Amino acid sequence: MMEGLLRQPEWRIIDQSSIGPHYGAVESFGYDDTLCASVGAGKAPATARTWVHQHTIVLGIQDTKLPFLQDGIQFLNEQGYQAVVRNSGGLAVVLDAGVLNISLILPEAEKGIDINRGYDTMWELIQSMFADFPQTIEAREIVGSYCPGSYDLSINGKKFAGISQRRLRKGVAVQIYLCVSGSGAKRAELVHEFYERAKRNAQTKFIYPEVVPDVMASLSELYGREFSISDIMVRLLTQLKQYGEKLYAGQLNEYELELLPGYVQRIVERNEPFKKMQKEAGS
């Protein structure tokens, strides 16, 4: 059943994993919304987009309600990170040169894609990408991780990836961040300190995670083998080739190029208050 969603007549690959320094995460979220609208409308085939961003903390909507958010953002800025608010659920995650993001943009069938089926599809893909290793990749919540959820991907209780979904106009984007290299614990320490400063001991309606750095790791740490982003790209393309009758590298088509500015603008507007906050934090 899961393989059913991976098996598509065509897979278009939009690889933006090497242009990270030239565009920001705000544009990235605009891209995924554009692709959702396009694939959902039947104007483009199923698409896999890969992307990497430098020194960025992506916050969820709930994070923007932290009582001392400006203090948390100031800390991130001092560490050389910028904060961006995404348009889908979840909480704070770290993006840097060792983190690969994969978005699978799929058309919703008439009955729609059940939310768990979307998550299971990504889990299935990641399992198949690392099938040559004996370790079991589990999907369950890892308590103490940042942005915890029921589809945290882990090996031996250490989380290396989180999955989210975005649904828009009959298109579904199933998104994952994979901690490929570097220290998972160091990334977690950054998020732990952000919450310490942005929440302090205040009582909040929403329960924010108590981040425990030891429960996070990168694939390189877990497999005892140094992976690069391009190593993982090869594994991804090899698997998608097995699922798609046709696999090709592509860019946005004309329809998508017209949609993109509007979707990016919406996310820019959502981020305006936080841009201002970061300027104030830096002054």
Q: pLDDT, tens digit, for every residue of 197-237? A: 999 988 888 989 999 999 999 999 999 999 999 999 999 99
* pLDDT at residue number 134: 95
Q: Which residues are catalytic?
A: 147
Taking domain 2-282, whether its CATH number is 3.30.360.10 is answered by: no
The full set of domain ranges for the chain reads: 2-282
Whether 107 and 171 have beta carbons less than 8 Å apart is answered as yes
Report the candidate in 194, 4, 25, 8 with the shortest Cα–Cα distance to residue 101: 25
Q: Count CB-CB contacts under 10 A for residue 250.
A: 14
CA distance 178 to 229: 10
What is the predicted pLDDT for the residue at 22?
66
pLDDT in tens, 146-193: 999 999 999 999 999 999 998 887 899 999 999 999 999 999 999 999
Q: Please name every residue paired with 93 in a beta bridge, in sequence order, or none if there are none.
A: 58
- Least confident piece of the model among 1-15, 73-87, 92-106: 1-15
